[in-house]
Amino acid sequence: MDLATILQILDSTVRLGTPLLLACLAGLFSERAGIFDIGLEGKMLMAAFFSGAVAAITGSVLLGLTAGVLSSLLLSAIHGAASITFRGNQLISGVAINFLASGLTVLIGQKWFQLGGRTPPLSGDGRFAPITLPFAETLREVPVIGPIYYELISGHSILVYVAFAAVPLSWWLLYRTRFGLRLRAVGENPAAVDTAGISVVRMRYAAVMICGLLTGLAGAYLATALSAGFVKEMTAGRGYIALAALIFAKWRPVPALGATMLFGLLEAIANRYQNIDLGGVVLPVQFMQALPYILTVVILAGFIGKATPPRAGGEAYVKER
Amino acid sequence: MSLMTHFLGAAGVLALTTGAALADPAIIFDLGGKFDKSFNEAAFNGAKRWADETGGSFKELEMQSEAQREQALRRLAEAGSNPIVMTGFAFGDVLNTVAPDYPDTKFAIIDMVVEQPNVKSVVFTEEQGSYLVGMLAAMASETGTVGFIGGMDIPLIRKFACGYVQGVKAVNPDATVIQNMTGTTPAAWNDPVKGSELAISQKSQGADVIYAAAGGTGLGVLQAAADQGILSIGVDSNQNHLFPGKVLTSMVKRVDNSVYEAFIDGDALEPGITVMDLASEGVGYALDENNEALITAEMKAAVDDATAKIASGEIAVHDYMADNTCPVE
């Protein structure tokens, strides 16, 4: 395997890992505040649809992105209302959001475009174009560093850089600000936060909204950067893989980057090689595709460290009993 | 009391529906969806052509999940639709159990053989059509490497792949064919992101023509190929117009003709197995104004020659589903 091949695989890893990373960070904010969210998949799907649809109608990818994020925020608000204000079951609300998104996207898509839920293909300004970073062309000839810079780091869409920037930003927000401390506390011991005179409800809504923003970006990335338009069910389980990555990363931002990129790498390798021959033992491609889930189960079973979810996760906060 | 009214209501509905048994035909689309720009859409176009020409009306149903198949079939049969056409291999098992319960209803299934006295099975020789586009791919390729991207890993898709490889090797025995399957679940039909990644990966390994037999996933392949400046080959319906000048050709399967004929036959639908092959123009390659610049006269001559030879039996294209193996890789 030469450098060019490795770079191509890593390049593919970045593209495939980015939606997972955004969704994983989204889940992180929500779950750290004590709101389980298995509706990541549905929110991504909804955002993918509206970004694709609005970009197709207006021809502007930025309007598409805005619409995608707004639709995702709306679903987040529904999830918030159901699980924070009305103290419903968070898992059921999440499942409902997944079903809602799966049905609504196709229904609205059919109504608007008569293409069976697909949106018209995007071109030109309707898509996020790859960005060539400064000096990428000139540095290209420099051995080793040149190709790495040109192939791997340069040439992605803006949302990829946003996603990577979101990792340190999330870390700083969660661990170095008053807001972050309160957010984490709400997920561990909401009664204590309430005693300190801070609104649990407001903190949780804020977390859920951040979650909506990030899933919105993830969905828009799928429909307007990676592909050119929306196809029904195009998230294809990425929301669930992101949840697996969240557990794998033990609800921490920097390991989330590692976990999502690892899962992206596994998918990239599976795309490149159908069967991997390890000197006599052949690894079928299905094994590679199942590996993210296997790894998550291994982590959950406690073989590699201990994954402890936020203590108040999944429970609605009741002020007085 | 309320139970009684339920029963009465049900009996009333039943009486009404049997009264209306002078039947409209019905069509059920598989999970890919009616407007997949591919297989199901071809079936829909056939049904629509029938409706436009005869002024008749037909019932249609789009599957939303695996679990609906049997219920959907029974509902249409009980509502008196006749014949009932379904698109896709996945209906095979269900039809096998449902068909004997409705001996007076005729069924037609596309892409699968179901041996029941009231079922017409329509199968296509996809390997022959794929052979032709494989020849075109090999002739259009400058690198000597071409690609194949399948949807869900099932024998039917392997059949496409096998025919394609045989066609490629017939033109250029030294050519390399990179093959990828998108996945092993029905989600593999609707994952354009993965399709596009697979196409980019194949391109980086030298492929400059990629054949996608993958439903909605194929749209991602065609898109990525157009973005990357290489050629792609569409499938089932004529997909040349999706990216004019970037799609080399499409392997067309005249599913529309089969549906149209089944609807025309109506009650008199002939049970048994119908094989739609090159000779009966059931399969072929698409040539229109969008790709005429890509197909040279020389390429066309070679493919037309092969078409005649396959139709006459001089060239035998191996069918993967006959023995689940492919003689070439």
> What's the pLDDT score for residue A304?
65
Which of A15, A222, A234 is nearest residue B190 as measured by Cβ atoms? A234
ipTM for the whole complex: 0.84
Residues 6 or more apart in contact with residue A7 via CB below 8 angstroms: A147, A148, A151, A152
Distance CA B92, CA B89 (A): 6
Q: Report strand pairing: B119-124 vs B107-110.
A: parallel
Give B277-320 pLDDT, tens digit per residue.
888 888 999 999 999 999 999 999 999 999 999 988 899 999 99
Which of A234, A285, A286 is nearest residue B192 as measured by Cβ atoms? A234
Other C-beta atoms closer than 10 Å to the C-beta of B264 total: 15
Question: Contact at 8 Å (CB) between A317 and A201?
Answer: yes
* Beta-carbon separation of A226 and B223 below 8 A: no
Centroid of chain to Cα B173: 28
SS3 of residue B145 by DSSP: strand
Question: Å from B207 to nearest chain A CA?
Answer: 13
* Beta-carbon separation of B190 and A236 below 8 A: yes
Distance CA A48, CA A220 (A): 5
Looking at the DSSP bridge assignments, the partners of residue B283 are B253
- B36 chain-A contacts, CB cut-off 8 A: 116
Question: Contact at 8 Å (CB) between B139 and B167?
Answer: no
Distance CA A227, CA A109 (A): 17
Work out how many CB contacts closer than 8 A connect A with B.
Answer: 81
Question: Å from B37 to nearest chain A CA?
Answer: 8
A62 contacts chain B (CB < 8 A):
no
Question: Contact at 8 Å (CB) between A8 and A152?
Answer: no
User: Does the structure show a pLDDT above 80 at A273?
Assistant: no
Residue spans of the domains in chain B: they are: 2-124+256-276, 127-252+296-323
Distance CA A71, CA A109 (A): 14
Question: What is the fold of B2-124+256-276?
Answer: Rossmann fold (3.40.50)
Fold matches, B2-124+256-276 and B127-252+296-323: yes
Distance CA B303, CA A130 (A): 39
- A289 chain-B contacts, CB cut-off 8 A: 183-184
A223: Cα within 13 Å, side-chain hemisphere: 39
> Which residue, A88, A84, A90, A94, is CA-closest to A317?
A84
Q: Which of A166-175, A265-274, A287-296, B213-222 shows the lowest per-residue confidence on average (mean pLDDT)?
A: A287-296
Q: Report strand pairing: A281-283 vs A276-278.
A: antiparallel
Domains annotated for chain A, with CATH where assigned, are 3-300 (1.10.3470)
> What's the pLDDT score for residue B6?
56
Average confidence (pLDDT) over A55-73: 95
User: Does the structure show a pLDDT above 50 at A225?
Assistant: yes
What the block records as the tokens of A119 is 């949106």
* Beta-carbon separation of A271 and B204 below 8 A: no
Distance CA A234, CA B172 (A): 37
Nearest CA in chain B to A288: B183
Give A241-251 pLDDT, tens digit per residue.
999 899 889 89
Give B220-237 pLDDT, tens digit per residue.
999 999 999 999 999 988
DSSP string of B162-225, one letter each residue:
HHHHHHHHHH-TT-EEEEEEEESSGGGGS-HHHHHHHHHHHHHTT--EEEEE-THHHHHHHHHH
Cite the DSSP H helix spans in chain A: 3-32, 40-58, 61-80, 90-113, 136-139, 145-147, 158-176, 178-188, 190-195, 200-221, 238-248, 253-272, 285-300
Which of A19, A115, A232 is nearest residue B190 as measured by Cβ atoms? A232
> What's the pLDDT score for residue B322?
85
> What's the pLDDT score for residue B289?
92
* Beta-carbon separation of A117 and B35 below 8 A: yes
∠ CA A113-A116-A267, nearest 5°, is 110
Distance CA B102, CA B124 (A): 26
Question: Å from B110 to nearest chain A CA?
Answer: 21
> What's the pLDDT score for residue B2?
55
DSSP string of B38-51, one letter each residue:
SHHHHHHHHHHHHH
A130 contacts chain B (CB < 8 A):
no
User: Does the structure show a pLDDT above 80 at B14?
Assistant: no
SS3 of residue A137 by DSSP: helix
Question: Å from B194 to nearest chain A CA?
Answer: 8
Question: Contact at 8 Å (CB) between B193 and A234?
Answer: yes
- What is the CATH number that goes with domain B127-252+296-323? 3.40.50.2300
Distance CA B211, CA B66 (A): 27
